[in-house]
Chain A
Amino acid sequence: MRERDTSPTNKLRDPRDRRLPRIPDPCALVVFGVTGDLARKKLIPAIYDLANRGLLPPGFMLLGFARRDFGNEDFSELARKAAEEHSRTPFRDEVWDRLSASIQFVQGSFDDDDAFDRLAQTLQDSERSHGIGGNAAFYLSIPPAAFPTVLKQMERTGMASNSDSGGWRRVVVEKPFGHDLKSSRELNGLVDSVFGADDVFRIDHYLGKETVQNLLALRFANTLFEPIWNANFVDSVQFTMAEDVGIGGRAAFYDSAGAARDVLQNHLLQLLALTAMEEPVSFDASALRIEKLKVLGAVSVPDDLERYAIRGQYEQGWLAGARVKGYTNEEGVPKDSNTETYAAVRLNVETRRWGGVPFYLRTGKRLPRRVTEIAVSFKKAPHLPFDATDTTELGHNQLVVRVQPDEGVTLRFGSKVPGSLMEVRDVSMDFLYGESFTEGSPEAYERLILDVLLGDQSLFPRNAEVEDSWRVIDPLEEFWADRKPEKYRAGEWGPKAADEMLARDGRRWRRP
């Protein structure tokens, strides 16, 4: 994390004064592809929420760039609608009026030199008119195929250069970060060459979630869990990210990517890294990265991929009371598509802490409900001084971190059933975020955009992490390339083969 150069001279800032929020330097946020889905549903509402919470600097500007033939007013109208519909905090006209005064739109396509010159000019003009200094962050909410063109344009106009602008220039990129190791290297090389590596922010919105950050607090702020957080006590760990939705309008992208590239490579491996990593020496970005890289480097793919790397594709079925189409019948998906909508894999982490502990990861679409969780399952007690019949209903002790929904932590353990017999059964102890702190948790994008503007890299994976994650995924993709995915009915918890994979190890998937 780079220190903000303004703070030491500001006598009004005091680390003890935690009432005052961190507010970024005056700056502009330039969003490419601002009329897209992500911008409308997440980015603009997040910016509104930040404005509403008073977290935007006095000099701020939102610059939209898109191909659509829009004037400033049309764009302002679209942005207003987006904020009204999707903002987390209540919509207030006066906040919007103030924000809309600093919104501008630049129309153009990515290969249009004129448009980028206009954009550069607008940025330059607003240095004075909006007092943004030379600071700007560029959010690339565009398909990766368009990256090279846009980046070259920014290089050409000097927009990407810290020294030319006399302030900071940062770029935000969304997943997918390539589709394999080679392509991600190329992409990283390209982005890092135009912007400095320190100025590139790769968004993995899972890392913006409070519950994921809480994983670090849970592990490293308590004495209770860390002593048993190793192969001596942990039997296995399950990571689940399930979605009930299908592929929506993303057929073209999804069919070329599939579940493993879409979710496993980024979200699930990041969760694995945070769960399995050693204690960082501090919580700044570089210390965290060092630990995450160590873990990702230690992840091994099973030799027997046939049995431990399962993928599936949903067929038509019933979900939440409605009939849904099978994947190959979705609009835009080829009838003979081999793309997986479900992936489950057993990984190992080859370290002293985790040797022999299987990490099961699964993700899928059209599963019964939307849920993301991490379940750490502990070994059974080495000896039970009870009759065998007393403990038939006793399972493994379990610690479950619910990332979403019902954010919180559950601890499962055995307890005596009241009565004259000694009978032990699983019970759970629950911590629900919403009950202990209902204070509006910021949306992931709200937090992450603020961090970009503040220049705090801690919650953003760096290129080495991305490349190491591909190193895990590439062999799986290679193995799957000429195989057909197993079928599962929409509304089921994945294909049978995935259940058999755990059954073979004497385990079963936790029903989330």
Chain B
Amino acid sequence: MSTLWDTTGSDVVKALSAERRSAGALAFGLALTLVVVTDQQSVEEAEKAATAAAAAHPCRLLMVIRRHSDAPDPRLDAEILIGGRLGPGEAVVMRMYGRLALHAESVTLPLLAPDAPVVTWWHDEPPEKIAFDPLGIFADRRITDCGRCPDAMAALQQRAMDYAPGDTDLAWTRTTNWRSLIAAAFDSTSESPTSATVHGPTTPATALLVGWLRSRLGVDVDLSETRGNDINEVRVQLEGDRQLILRRNDSRTASLSLPDRGERIQPLSNRDLGDLLAEEVRRLDSDEVYADALSAWTGVEGLSDRSPFRTHIWRDPAQERAAEEPESDGDRARAGQAS
């Protein structure tokens, strides 16, 4: 492990290759680069999840922590670990201060594993438009987490507006277990559904499950608001006033009742962030089923037809602040040069 204070991007690249050589990991099979964007206060949580995901899918892990973007001088601190605290692979934790935070790609680009896919995950609130963040531009897969935004449902709507193939949201990953059980239940019944209701809190995950059922079944699917943090129950009306009910019992199991078959207990565990992230990085192509579900919930159409490529849109928080307070024009000039 080496720690570099107030360093440069080139020194980080050199330190990484020196670490690799001394660890004897030159032939390390890198399947992908995972870029994690997070705030200082949630670093620990993000590190834990990324470590779990890296254990499942060996990758080069780049943690980008942006701090004090209004600090007067740009500064980079970096920590390089191989086979240490952050899992079996290589990890670089970078703290970027001042205006460097707006140009994080200048440090991360040379650190990407050669010709391997890049996944960027915003642990906290993602940029309003992914294109605002250069770390989202070069990524093949972009993972957001609407559930962590202050107004989660508005964020989900925004994800649909801003969607490009290759985007997914962890709210969608949270529905996988539910979806597997419901799909398996339908394997053993040939009855056609007429309508369905999802009982759960109004969260992006519930919304996406509703969206998925709408897009797949083509029938009315309602969201019935309940309290708690997690989806509670899915009830599908079948022909002839019969019902298929999947209800969560506790944090690990659910009961499934099918017409004429009685009730059965099925595993339905709450997964932690690491598991969710590991599921996300398993697939590196775009998830059209997610696009369909998102489209069905939000009403935004043609998601899969969009281009998977984005062009960076320069947006400077200092400039925006300056626009609100017309006094500080010096900053604007500097921002213009920096871009």
Contact = CB atoms under 8 A, between A and B. Distances in A.
B310 to A, nearest CB: 22
A23 B187 contact: yes
Given A12-B179, A20-B176, A98-B253, A59 B57 contact: no
Given A10-B183, A54-B267, A19 B57 contact: no
A69 interface: no
B228 interface: no
Nearest to A436: B29
Contacts of B288: 16
A16 B188 contact: no
B283 A20 contact: no
Interface in A431-453: 431-432, 435-440
A101 B283 CA distance: 35
Contact of B180 (A20, A25, A430): A20
B180 A131 contact: no
A52 B29 CA distance: 29
B58 interface: yes
Given A7-B187, A10-B187, A438-B57, A131 B282 contact: no
Contacts of B201: none
Size category, B interface:
35 or more
Contacts of B29: 431-432, 435-436
Contact of B31 (A10, A52, A437): A437
A188 to B, nearest CB: 32
Interface string A62-100: 000000000000000000000000000000001100100
Contacts of B27: 429-430, 432
A6 interface: yes
From B177, B253, B261, B279, name the one whose CB has the most chain A CB atoms within 10 angstroms: B261
Interface in B182-212: 182-188, 190
A483 interface: no
A189 interface: no
A94 B253 contact: yes
Given A19-B279, A21-B180, A6 B188 contact: yes
B72 interface: no
A57 B188 contact: yes
A25 B267 contact: no
Contacts of B177: 54
A7 B180 CA distance: 14
A447 B323 CA distance: 61
Contacts of B30: 436
Contact of B264 (A10, A11, A14, A59): A59
Contacts of B185: 58
Interface in A276-295: none
A14 B278 CA distance: 22
A12 B217 contact: yes
Contacts of A26: 188
Interface in A1-45: 6-7, 9-14, 16-21, 23, 25-26
B216 A12 contact: yes
A445 B181 CA distance: 24
A16 B279 CA distance: 15
A429 to B, nearest CB: 7
B97 to A, nearest CB: 34
A429 B176 CA distance: 38
A6 B183 CA distance: 11
A440 to B, nearest CB: 8
B184 A58 contact: yes
B258 interface: yes
A435 B58 contact: yes
A133 interface: yes
Contact of A12 (B31, B55, B183, B282): B183
Contacts of B188: 6, 25-26, 57-59, 131, 133
B88 A438 contact: yes
Nearest to A51: B267
B328 to A, nearest CB: 48
Contact of B186 (A12, A98, A430): A12
A429 B57 CA distance: 21
Nearest to A428: B27
B56 interface: yes
B119 to A, nearest CB: 15
A172 to B, nearest CB: 22
Given A11-B216, A429-B27, A438-B56, A19 B179 contact: yes
A437 B88 CA distance: 12
A437 B217 CA distance: 35
Interface string B278-298: 110011000111000000000
A437 B266 contact: no
Given A51-B267, A98-B253, A20 B179 contact: yes
A23 B266 CA distance: 13
B252 interface: yes
Contact of B183 (A20, A131, A432): A20
A431 B294 CA distance: 38
B25 to A, nearest CB: 9
B180 A23 contact: yes
A58 B264 contact: yes
Given A430-B27, A437-B57, A58 B183 contact: no
Nearest to B246: A58
Given A57-B188, A59-B261, A435 B216 contact: no
A26 B218 CA distance: 26
A246 to B, nearest CB: 35
Contacts of B264: 58-59, 131
Contact of B218 (A11, A52, A437): A11
A13 B190 CA distance: 13
A436 B218 contact: no
A12 B267 contact: no
Given A10-B187, A12-B183, A131-B264, A438 B216 contact: no
B262 A19 contact: no
Contacts of B253: 94, 98
A296 B185 CA distance: 42
Contacts of B181: 54, 58
Contacts of B287: 19
Interface in B233-267: 252-253, 256, 258, 261-262, 264-267
Contacts of A12: 179, 182-183, 186, 213, 216-217
A432 B26 CA distance: 13
B85 to A, nearest CB: 17
A264 B281 CA distance: 40
A6 B191 CA distance: 11
Contacts of A20: 176, 179-180, 183
B28 interface: yes
A52 B266 CA distance: 11
Contact of B28 (A6, A17, A435, A439): A435
- What are the nearest 7 A-B pairs in CB distance? A436-B29, A435-B29, A12-B183, A17-B289, A23-B184, A131-B261, A10-B186
15 contacts: A17-B179, A19-B179, A19-B283, A21-B180, A23-B180, A23-B184, A25-B188, A54-B267, A58-B256, A59-B264, A131-B258, A131-B261, A131-B262, A439-B56, A439-B282
Interface of A: 6-7, 9-14, 16-21, 23, 25-26, 51-52, 54, 57-59, 94-95, 98, 101, 131, 133, 429-432, 435-440
Given A11-B218, A57-B184, A98-B253, 18 more contacts: A10-B186, A10-B187, A12-B217, A14-B216, A14-B289, A19-B180, A20-B183, A23-B187, A52-B267, A57-B188, A58-B184, A58-B258, A58-B266, A131-B262, A131-B264, A430-B27, A436-B58, A439-B278
